[in-house]
Amino acid sequence: MQSKIPIGILGATGIVGQRFVQMLEHHPWFEVAWLAASDRSEGRTYAEAVRWRLRTAIPERVAKMTVSPAKPEGAPKVIFAALDAAIAAELEPRFAEAGCAVVSNSSALRMAPDVPLVIPEVNAGHIKLIETQAWRKKSGGFVVTNPNCSAIGLVLALAPLEQHFGLETVMAVTMQAVSGAGYPGVASLDILGNVIPYIAKEEEKMEEETLKLLGRLNGSRVLPGNFTVSAQCNRVAVEDGHTESVSVRLRKKASAEEIQSAWRTFTAEPQKLRLPSAPDQPVMYVDAADRPQPRFDAERGAGMTTTVGRLRPCKVLEWKFTVLSHNTIRGAAGAALLNAELLKAQGCLG
Ligand SMILES: NC(=O)c1ccc[n+]([C@@H]2O[C@H](COP(=O)([O-])OP(=O)(O)OC[C@H]3O[C@@H](n4cnc5c(N)ncnc54)[C@H](OP(=O)(O)O)[C@@H]3O)[C@@H](O)[C@H]2O)c1
Protein backbone atom coordinates (compact mmCIF):
# COMPACT_ATOMS: atom_id res chain seq x y z
CA MET A 1 0.00 0.00 0.00
CA GLN A 2 1.29 3.49 -0.88
CA SER A 3 1.94 5.74 2.11
CA LYS A 4 -0.16 8.89 2.51
CA ILE A 5 1.10 12.41 1.80
CA PRO A 6 1.87 14.26 5.06
CA ILE A 7 -0.15 17.46 5.45
CA GLY A 8 0.35 20.51 7.65
CA ILE A 9 -2.52 22.76 8.74
CA LEU A 10 -1.84 26.44 9.41
CA GLY A 11 -4.61 27.91 11.57
CA ALA A 12 -5.53 24.38 12.70
CA THR A 13 -7.48 25.52 15.78
CA GLY A 14 -9.94 27.81 13.93
CA ILE A 15 -13.35 27.00 12.47
CA VAL A 16 -11.90 26.10 9.06
CA GLY A 17 -8.85 24.39 10.60
CA GLN A 18 -11.19 22.10 12.55
CA ARG A 19 -13.04 21.17 9.35
CA PHE A 20 -9.69 20.24 7.80
CA VAL A 21 -8.91 17.96 10.75
CA GLN A 22 -12.37 16.38 10.48
CA MET A 23 -12.30 15.91 6.69
CA LEU A 24 -8.77 14.49 6.70
CA GLU A 25 -9.49 11.83 9.36
CA HIS A 26 -10.09 9.01 6.88
CA HIS A 27 -8.70 10.60 3.74
CA PRO A 28 -7.26 8.01 1.32
CA TRP A 29 -4.35 10.20 0.09
CA PHE A 30 -3.52 12.71 2.84
CA GLU A 31 -2.71 12.49 6.54
CA VAL A 32 -2.38 15.25 9.15
CA ALA A 33 1.28 15.38 10.20
CA TRP A 34 1.72 18.91 11.58
CA LEU A 35 -0.51 21.56 13.13
CA ALA A 36 0.22 25.24 13.71
CA ALA A 37 -1.71 28.22 15.06
CA SER A 38 -0.90 31.42 16.98
CA ASP A 39 1.56 31.59 19.88
CA ARG A 40 -1.49 31.31 22.17
CA SER A 41 -1.79 27.66 21.06
CA GLU A 42 1.86 26.82 20.35
CA GLY A 43 3.34 24.07 22.55
CA ARG A 44 -0.07 22.81 23.77
CA THR A 45 -1.68 19.59 22.61
CA TYR A 46 -4.31 20.12 19.93
CA ALA A 47 -7.05 19.01 22.35
CA GLU A 48 -5.92 21.65 24.88
CA ALA A 49 -5.53 24.45 22.34
CA VAL A 50 -8.70 24.03 20.28
CA ARG A 51 -12.30 25.06 21.15
CA TRP A 52 -13.69 22.14 19.10
CA ARG A 53 -17.04 23.21 17.58
CA LEU A 54 -17.94 20.18 15.41
CA ARG A 55 -20.39 17.40 16.20
CA THR A 56 -17.92 14.54 15.59
CA ALA A 57 -15.15 13.92 18.17
CA ILE A 58 -11.60 15.21 17.66
CA PRO A 59 -9.70 12.36 15.98
CA GLU A 60 -7.71 10.70 18.78
CA ARG A 61 -4.34 10.79 17.00
CA VAL A 62 -4.68 14.51 16.21
CA ALA A 63 -5.93 15.39 19.71
CA LYS A 64 -2.55 14.31 21.13
CA MET A 65 -0.40 16.18 18.60
CA THR A 66 1.49 19.26 19.78
CA VAL A 67 0.72 22.58 18.07
CA SER A 68 3.91 23.84 16.37
CA PRO A 69 5.04 27.40 15.76
CA ALA A 70 3.73 28.77 12.44
CA LYS A 71 7.11 28.61 10.72
CA PRO A 72 8.14 26.57 7.67
CA GLU A 73 11.07 24.92 9.49
CA GLY A 74 10.01 21.33 10.24
CA ALA A 75 6.67 21.68 8.39
CA PRO A 76 5.60 19.17 5.70
CA LYS A 77 5.70 20.16 2.02
CA VAL A 78 1.92 20.37 1.61
CA ILE A 79 0.18 23.00 3.75
CA PHE A 80 -3.54 23.69 4.11
CA ALA A 81 -3.83 27.29 5.28
CA ALA A 82 -6.83 28.67 7.22
CA LEU A 83 -5.49 31.99 8.49
CA ASP A 84 -6.97 35.43 8.76
CA ALA A 85 -6.08 37.43 5.61
CA ALA A 86 -3.66 39.84 7.32
CA ILE A 87 -1.66 36.95 8.82
CA ALA A 88 -1.91 34.88 5.62
CA ALA A 89 -0.43 37.77 3.61
CA GLU A 90 2.72 37.46 5.69
CA LEU A 91 2.91 33.69 6.32
CA GLU A 92 1.72 32.05 3.07
CA PRO A 93 4.54 33.56 0.92
CA ARG A 94 7.04 32.46 3.57
CA PHE A 95 5.91 28.83 3.29
CA ALA A 96 5.82 28.96 -0.54
CA GLU A 97 9.31 30.43 -0.55
CA ALA A 98 10.47 27.50 1.61
CA GLY A 99 9.24 25.07 -1.08
CA CYS A 100 5.77 24.25 0.27
CA ALA A 101 2.61 23.78 -1.78
CA VAL A 102 0.26 26.17 0.04
CA VAL A 103 -3.43 25.43 -0.50
CA SER A 104 -5.05 28.53 0.93
CA ASN A 105 -8.51 29.57 2.11
CA SER A 106 -7.71 33.17 2.76
CA SER A 107 -8.40 36.17 0.56
CA ALA A 108 -4.85 37.55 0.92
CA LEU A 109 -3.50 36.31 -2.42
CA ARG A 110 -6.69 35.27 -4.30
CA MET A 111 -6.66 38.19 -6.71
CA ALA A 112 -2.87 38.24 -7.31
CA PRO A 113 -2.43 37.83 -11.09
CA ASP A 114 -0.08 34.82 -10.75
CA VAL A 115 -2.12 33.01 -8.06
CA PRO A 116 -4.75 30.54 -9.27
CA LEU A 117 -8.20 30.99 -7.74
CA VAL A 118 -9.79 27.61 -8.40
CA ILE A 119 -13.01 25.61 -8.14
CA PRO A 120 -12.01 22.27 -9.70
CA GLU A 121 -15.42 21.81 -11.41
CA VAL A 122 -15.25 25.29 -12.94
CA ASN A 123 -11.70 26.31 -13.87
CA ALA A 124 -9.30 23.42 -13.18
CA GLY A 125 -7.07 24.67 -16.03
CA HIS A 126 -6.18 27.83 -14.07
CA ILE A 127 -3.91 25.68 -11.85
CA LYS A 128 -1.28 26.15 -14.59
CA LEU A 129 -0.70 29.68 -13.26
CA ILE A 130 1.48 28.21 -10.50
CA GLU A 131 4.21 27.74 -13.11
CA THR A 132 4.47 31.55 -13.41
CA GLN A 133 5.09 32.08 -9.68
CA ALA A 134 8.58 33.16 -8.60
CA TRP A 135 8.44 30.74 -5.63
CA ARG A 136 7.81 27.81 -7.99
CA LYS A 137 10.85 28.68 -10.09
CA LYS A 138 13.10 29.18 -7.05
CA SER A 139 12.11 26.49 -4.54
CA GLY A 140 9.28 24.50 -6.14
CA GLY A 141 6.78 26.05 -3.70
CA PHE A 142 3.54 27.71 -4.79
CA VAL A 143 0.18 29.07 -3.60
CA VAL A 144 -3.26 27.98 -4.87
CA THR A 145 -6.44 29.52 -3.45
CA ASN A 146 -10.14 28.72 -3.22
CA PRO A 147 -12.83 31.42 -3.29
CA ASN A 148 -14.79 33.22 -0.65
CA CYS A 149 -17.50 31.05 0.91
CA SER A 150 -20.36 32.93 -0.83
CA ALA A 151 -18.64 33.26 -4.19
CA ILE A 152 -18.18 29.47 -4.45
CA GLY A 153 -21.90 28.59 -4.23
CA LEU A 154 -22.79 31.40 -6.60
CA VAL A 155 -20.15 30.38 -9.16
CA LEU A 156 -21.07 26.68 -9.03
CA ALA A 157 -24.66 27.69 -9.87
CA LEU A 158 -23.55 30.15 -12.57
CA ALA A 159 -20.96 27.97 -14.34
CA PRO A 160 -23.51 25.70 -16.13
CA LEU A 161 -25.47 28.82 -17.18
CA GLU A 162 -22.33 30.50 -18.53
CA GLN A 163 -21.40 27.29 -20.41
CA HIS A 164 -24.79 26.81 -22.06
CA PHE A 165 -26.32 30.26 -22.42
CA GLY A 166 -23.72 32.92 -21.52
CA LEU A 167 -24.16 35.39 -18.66
CA GLU A 168 -24.85 39.09 -19.13
CA THR A 169 -25.87 40.35 -15.65
CA VAL A 170 -25.88 38.73 -12.19
CA MET A 171 -27.37 40.10 -8.96
CA ALA A 172 -26.99 38.19 -5.69
CA VAL A 173 -28.26 38.87 -2.17
CA THR A 174 -26.78 36.63 0.52
CA MET A 175 -27.99 35.36 3.89
CA GLN A 176 -24.75 34.12 5.45
CA ALA A 177 -24.32 31.79 8.43
CA VAL A 178 -22.53 32.86 11.61
CA SER A 179 -19.85 30.15 11.27
CA GLY A 180 -18.62 32.12 8.26
CA ALA A 181 -17.21 34.70 10.66
CA GLY A 182 -14.87 32.20 12.38
CA TYR A 183 -14.78 31.60 16.14
CA PRO A 184 -16.00 33.30 18.35
CA GLY A 185 -17.25 35.37 15.41
CA VAL A 186 -20.28 37.64 15.80
CA ALA A 187 -21.44 38.32 19.38
CA SER A 188 -24.72 36.52 20.21
CA LEU A 189 -26.29 39.82 21.34
CA ASP A 190 -25.64 41.26 17.90
CA ILE A 191 -27.03 38.38 15.83
CA LEU A 192 -29.84 36.68 17.81
CA GLY A 193 -33.21 37.80 16.42
CA ASN A 194 -31.37 40.09 14.04
CA VAL A 195 -29.94 40.53 10.53
CA ILE A 196 -26.69 42.42 9.97
CA PRO A 197 -26.65 43.99 6.49
CA TYR A 198 -22.87 44.33 6.29
CA ILE A 199 -19.92 41.94 6.13
CA ALA A 200 -16.62 43.73 5.66
CA LYS A 201 -15.17 43.38 2.12
CA GLU A 202 -17.56 40.48 1.32
CA GLU A 203 -19.44 42.17 -1.53
CA GLU A 204 -16.20 43.22 -3.24
CA LYS A 205 -14.84 39.65 -2.91
CA MET A 206 -17.98 38.09 -4.39
CA GLU A 207 -17.97 40.46 -7.33
CA GLU A 208 -14.30 40.29 -8.28
CA GLU A 209 -13.74 36.59 -7.51
CA THR A 210 -16.76 35.54 -9.58
CA LEU A 211 -15.27 37.26 -12.62
CA LYS A 212 -11.80 35.71 -12.08
CA LEU A 213 -13.28 32.21 -11.59
CA LEU A 214 -15.39 32.43 -14.74
CA GLY A 215 -12.59 34.16 -16.63
CA ARG A 216 -10.36 32.71 -19.33
CA LEU A 217 -6.72 31.80 -18.86
CA ASN A 218 -4.70 33.62 -21.48
CA GLY A 219 -1.02 32.70 -21.13
CA SER A 220 0.13 34.01 -17.78
CA ARG A 221 -3.05 35.88 -16.82
CA VAL A 222 -6.77 35.44 -16.38
CA LEU A 223 -9.08 37.62 -18.46
CA PRO A 224 -12.13 38.30 -16.26
CA GLY A 225 -15.58 37.01 -17.26
CA ASN A 226 -17.49 39.27 -19.63
CA PHE A 227 -20.56 40.05 -17.49
CA THR A 228 -21.51 42.32 -14.57
CA VAL A 229 -22.04 41.16 -10.99
CA SER A 230 -23.64 43.01 -8.09
CA ALA A 231 -23.66 41.42 -4.61
CA GLN A 232 -25.31 42.42 -1.32
CA CYS A 233 -24.25 40.48 1.77
CA ASN A 234 -26.10 39.92 5.05
CA ARG A 235 -25.25 37.94 8.19
CA VAL A 236 -28.19 35.95 9.63
CA ALA A 237 -28.69 33.74 12.69
CA VAL A 238 -28.01 30.41 10.92
CA GLU A 239 -25.25 28.09 12.12
CA ASP A 240 -23.94 26.66 8.81
CA GLY A 241 -24.91 27.22 5.16
CA HIS A 242 -24.99 30.39 3.07
CA THR A 243 -28.24 31.06 1.16
CA GLU A 244 -28.31 33.42 -1.84
CA SER A 245 -31.18 34.94 -3.83
CA VAL A 246 -29.87 35.33 -7.36
CA SER A 247 -31.22 37.03 -10.51
CA VAL A 248 -29.58 36.68 -13.92
CA ARG A 249 -29.90 37.93 -17.47
CA LEU A 250 -28.56 35.41 -20.00
CA ARG A 251 -27.09 36.08 -23.46
CA LYS A 252 -29.10 33.28 -25.15
CA LYS A 253 -32.83 32.59 -24.66
CA ALA A 254 -33.41 29.54 -22.46
CA SER A 255 -36.47 27.76 -21.08
CA ALA A 256 -36.83 26.77 -17.41
CA GLU A 257 -36.40 23.10 -18.43
CA GLU A 258 -33.16 23.89 -20.28
CA ILE A 259 -31.75 25.80 -17.30
CA GLN A 260 -32.67 23.05 -14.84
CA SER A 261 -31.15 20.47 -17.15
CA ALA A 262 -27.90 22.49 -17.37
CA TRP A 263 -27.64 22.30 -13.56
CA ARG A 264 -28.67 18.65 -13.27
CA THR A 265 -26.25 17.40 -15.90
CA PHE A 266 -23.31 19.57 -14.81
CA THR A 267 -20.25 17.43 -14.21
CA ALA A 268 -16.56 18.14 -14.65
CA GLU A 269 -12.91 17.15 -14.11
CA PRO A 270 -13.21 16.12 -10.39
CA GLN A 271 -16.07 13.72 -11.18
CA LYS A 272 -14.23 12.26 -14.19
CA LEU A 273 -11.04 11.84 -12.16
CA ARG A 274 -13.06 10.46 -9.22
CA LEU A 275 -11.29 12.74 -6.77
CA PRO A 276 -12.04 11.48 -3.23
CA SER A 277 -13.86 14.64 -2.07
CA ALA A 278 -15.73 15.30 -5.32
CA PRO A 279 -19.52 15.01 -4.95
CA ASP A 280 -21.31 12.88 -7.56
CA GLN A 281 -23.42 15.93 -8.34
CA PRO A 282 -21.72 19.33 -7.86
CA VAL A 283 -25.03 21.16 -8.40
CA MET A 284 -28.40 19.68 -7.49
CA TYR A 285 -31.72 21.28 -8.51
CA VAL A 286 -34.60 20.65 -6.09
CA ASP A 287 -38.25 21.02 -7.15
CA ALA A 288 -39.92 21.69 -3.76
CA ALA A 289 -41.31 25.24 -3.60
CA ASP A 290 -39.75 26.00 -0.19
CA ARG A 291 -36.22 24.65 -0.70
CA PRO A 292 -33.25 24.85 -0.44
CA GLN A 293 -33.01 25.50 3.30
CA PRO A 294 -29.76 25.43 5.32
CA ARG A 295 -31.18 23.02 7.92
CA PHE A 296 -32.13 20.36 5.37
CA ASP A 297 -29.91 20.93 2.35
CA ALA A 298 -26.48 22.26 3.48
CA GLU A 299 -25.07 18.75 4.01
CA ARG A 300 -25.99 17.29 0.62
CA GLY A 301 -23.08 15.41 -0.96
CA ALA A 302 -21.27 15.46 2.42
CA GLY A 303 -21.46 19.27 2.30
CA MET A 304 -19.85 19.47 -1.17
CA THR A 305 -23.02 19.77 -3.29
CA THR A 306 -24.48 23.19 -4.04
CA THR A 307 -28.28 23.10 -3.99
CA VAL A 308 -30.36 25.29 -6.30
CA GLY A 309 -34.13 25.75 -6.27
CA ARG A 310 -37.05 28.12 -6.93
CA LEU A 311 -36.20 28.89 -10.57
CA ARG A 312 -38.77 31.38 -11.85
CA PRO A 313 -39.01 34.35 -14.23
CA CYS A 314 -37.68 37.70 -13.02
CA LYS A 315 -39.41 40.90 -14.17
CA VAL A 316 -36.26 43.00 -13.83
CA LEU A 317 -33.60 40.64 -15.21
CA GLU A 318 -34.75 37.35 -16.74
CA TRP A 319 -34.58 34.49 -14.24
CA LYS A 320 -34.32 34.26 -10.47
CA PHE A 321 -33.46 31.35 -8.17
CA THR A 322 -32.09 30.40 -4.72
CA VAL A 323 -28.65 28.89 -4.08
CA LEU A 324 -27.36 27.19 -0.92
CA SER A 325 -23.90 25.89 -0.09
CA HIS A 326 -22.13 24.78 3.08
CA ASN A 327 -19.74 27.58 4.00
CA THR A 328 -17.13 25.71 6.03
CA ILE A 329 -17.15 22.57 3.82
CA ARG A 330 -17.74 23.55 0.14
CA GLY A 331 -16.93 27.15 1.04
CA ALA A 332 -13.66 26.48 2.86
CA ALA A 333 -11.96 23.21 3.97
CA GLY A 334 -13.68 20.98 1.38
CA ALA A 335 -12.84 23.46 -1.37
CA ALA A 336 -9.15 23.46 -0.43
CA LEU A 337 -9.12 19.68 -0.09
CA LEU A 338 -10.58 19.28 -3.58
CA ASN A 339 -7.96 21.72 -4.91
CA ALA A 340 -5.22 19.63 -3.27
CA GLU A 341 -6.68 16.43 -4.77
CA LEU A 342 -6.68 18.08 -8.20
CA LEU A 343 -3.05 19.18 -7.68
CA LYS A 344 -2.11 15.61 -6.78
CA ALA A 345 -3.98 14.20 -9.78
CA GLN A 346 -2.11 16.67 -12.01
CA GLY A 347 1.25 15.61 -10.51
CA CYS A 348 1.92 18.95 -8.76
CA LEU A 349 2.43 17.60 -5.24
CA GLY A 350 5.82 15.98 -5.88
N1 LIG B 1 -15.43 30.25 8.38
C2 LIG B 1 -15.73 30.15 7.09
O3 LIG B 1 -16.86 29.74 6.69
C4 LIG B 1 -14.71 30.52 6.02
C5 LIG B 1 -15.03 30.23 4.71
C6 LIG B 1 -14.11 30.54 3.70
C7 LIG B 1 -12.92 31.13 4.02
N8 LIG B 1 -12.62 31.43 5.30
C9 LIG B 1 -11.32 32.04 5.56
O10 LIG B 1 -10.47 31.09 6.20
C11 LIG B 1 -9.58 31.76 7.10
C12 LIG B 1 -9.77 31.18 8.51
O13 LIG B 1 -11.11 31.41 8.93
P14 LIG B 1 -11.73 30.80 10.27
O15 LIG B 1 -13.18 31.06 10.15
O16 LIG B 1 -11.24 29.40 10.49
O17 LIG B 1 -11.04 31.77 11.39
P18 LIG B 1 -10.84 31.52 12.95
O19 LIG B 1 -11.85 30.59 13.49
O20 LIG B 1 -10.75 32.89 13.55
O21 LIG B 1 -9.38 30.82 13.05
C22 LIG B 1 -8.18 31.51 12.84
C23 LIG B 1 -6.98 30.58 12.98
O24 LIG B 1 -5.76 31.34 12.75
C25 LIG B 1 -4.86 31.16 13.85
N26 LIG B 1 -4.03 32.35 14.05
C27 LIG B 1 -4.42 33.56 14.54
N28 LIG B 1 -3.34 34.40 14.59
C29 LIG B 1 -2.28 33.69 14.14
C30 LIG B 1 -0.90 33.98 13.97
N31 LIG B 1 -0.41 35.20 14.26
N32 LIG B 1 -0.09 33.02 13.48
C33 LIG B 1 -0.58 31.79 13.19
N34 LIG B 1 -1.88 31.44 13.33
C35 LIG B 1 -2.71 32.39 13.79
C36 LIG B 1 -5.77 30.90 15.04
O37 LIG B 1 -5.02 30.27 16.05
P38 LIG B 1 -5.36 30.44 17.65
O39 LIG B 1 -6.50 29.51 17.93
O40 LIG B 1 -4.08 29.99 18.27
O41 LIG B 1 -5.69 31.88 17.90
C42 LIG B 1 -6.81 29.97 14.38
O43 LIG B 1 -6.26 28.69 14.24
C44 LIG B 1 -9.94 33.27 7.00
O45 LIG B 1 -9.08 33.88 6.06
C46 LIG B 1 -11.36 33.25 6.50
O47 LIG B 1 -11.71 34.43 5.81
C48 LIG B 1 -13.48 31.13 6.32
Residues 6+ apart with CB under 8 A from 264: 281, 283, 284, 285
Helix (H) or strand (E) run with residue 52 in it: none
Q: How far is residue 286 CA from its own chain's centroid?
A: 22
Query: pLDDT, tens digit, for every residue of 182-212?
Result: 999 999 999 999 999 999 999 999 999 999 9
Q: Is 149 in the pocket of ligand 1 (CB under 6 A)?
A: yes
256-264 vs 149-164: helix crossing angle, rounded to 10: 120
15-24 vs 334-345: helix crossing angle, rounded to 10: 50
Q: Is 334 in the pocket of ligand 1 (CB under 6 A)?
A: no
CB atoms within 10 A of CB 213: 27
Mean pLDDT computed over 29-42: 98
Q: Is 75 in the pocket of ligand 1 (CB under 6 A)?
A: no
Q: Does the pLDDT value for residue 1 go beyond 70?
A: no
Tell the residue nearest (CA) to atom 41 of ligand 1: 38
Tell the residue nearest (CA) to atom 47 of ligand 1: 106
Mean pLDDT computed over 159-182: 97
Mean pLDDT computed over 275-285: 98
Q: Is 247 in the pocket of ligand 1 (CB under 6 A)?
A: no
Q: How far is residue 9 CA from its own chain's centroid?
A: 16
- Give yes or no: 348 in active site: no
Query: pLDDT, tens digit, for every residue of 86-138?
Result: 999 999 999 999 999 999 999 999 999 999 999 999 999 999 999 999 999 99
Shortest-distance atom of ligand 1 to CA 11:
43
Return the pLDDT at 350: 80
CA of 46 to the centre of ligand 1 (A): 15
Return the pLDDT at 53: 94
Tell the residue nearest (CA) to atom 17 of ligand 1: 182
Return the pLDDT at 206: 98
Q: Is 337 in the pocket of ligand 1 (CB under 6 A)?
A: no
- Give yes or no: 242 in active site: yes
3-state SS of 96-142 is HHCCCEEEECCCCCCCCCCCCECCHHHHHHHHHHHHHCHHHHHHCCE
| Per-residue confidence band for 285, with pLDDT thresholds at 50, 70 and 90 | very high
DSSP of 136-194, one letter per residue? HHHHS-EEEE---HHHHHHHHHHHHHHHHT-EEEEEEEEEE-GGGG-SS-S-HHHHTT-
Q: Which of 256, 226, 249, 94 is nearest to 170 (CA)?
A: 249
For the question of whether the overall pTM of this predicted structure is more than 0.95, the answer is yes
Mean pLDDT computed over 311-316: 98
CA of 103 to the centre of ligand 1 (A): 14
Mean pLDDT computed over 52-67: 97
Which of 126, 242, 326, 348 is an active site residue? 242
- From 10, 15, 204, the mutation candidate for ligand 1 (largest count of ligand atoms within 8 A of CB) is 15
| Per-residue confidence band for 166, with pLDDT thresholds at 50, 70 and 90 | very high
Question: CA 150, CA 202: separation in Å to the nearest integer?
Answer: 8
Q: Across the chain, where does the E strand assignment appear?
A: 5-10, 30-36, 78-81, 101-104, 142-145, 167-176, 195-196, 216-218, 221-223, 228-236, 242-250, 283-286, 306-313, 319-325
Shortest-distance atom of ligand 1 to CA 16:
16
